[in-house]
Amino acid sequence: MAAEYTISDLSAEFDITTRTIRFYEEKGLLSPRREGSSRIYTPADRTKLRLILRGKRLGFTLEESRSIIDMYDPEAGNHEQMQSLLAKIREKRHQLEQQLHDIEVMMLDLRDSEERCLEAMASPDQSAKQS
């Protein structure tokens, strides 16, 4: 593993744009050192980027990812960080389960509405009598 990375190295490794990396830098999530106009990223920056992208895939906001990353404390065994991450994972799973339930209810409503429309179109006399 390299001791330093360029923005192009990280962009290629994580299949993201350099603009995305600069955005995370602007938000204060990454802090590369500068050598002239070049950004030099450390292994810690690379790890933070990996965690940010993982958080994004899990549906975390940047602030949620930041708060979890900022809790990193290997001397304390990262217990607080893991507890916070576990709570966020459970919260996101609960939100997704609720969204799935809402979608299932909506699908049933759509099927019911579709069937009523098809029935009404199949018997125009029936729909005229109901008016």
Beta strands in 1-131 (DSSP E): 5-6, 33-35, 38-41
CATH class held by domain 1-59: mainly alpha
CA–CA dist 16, 46 (Å, integer): 13
pLDDT tier at 130 (50, 70, 90 boundaries)? low
pTM of the model: 0.73
Distance CA 45, CA 51 (A): 10
Domain coordinates in residue numbering, the chain: 1-59, 88-131
Closest CA to 4 of 37, 35, 46, 36: 46
Looking at every residue in the chain, the average pLDDT score rounds to 91
| Each residue's pLDDT tens digit, 26-57 | 999 999 999 999 999 999 899 999 999 999 99
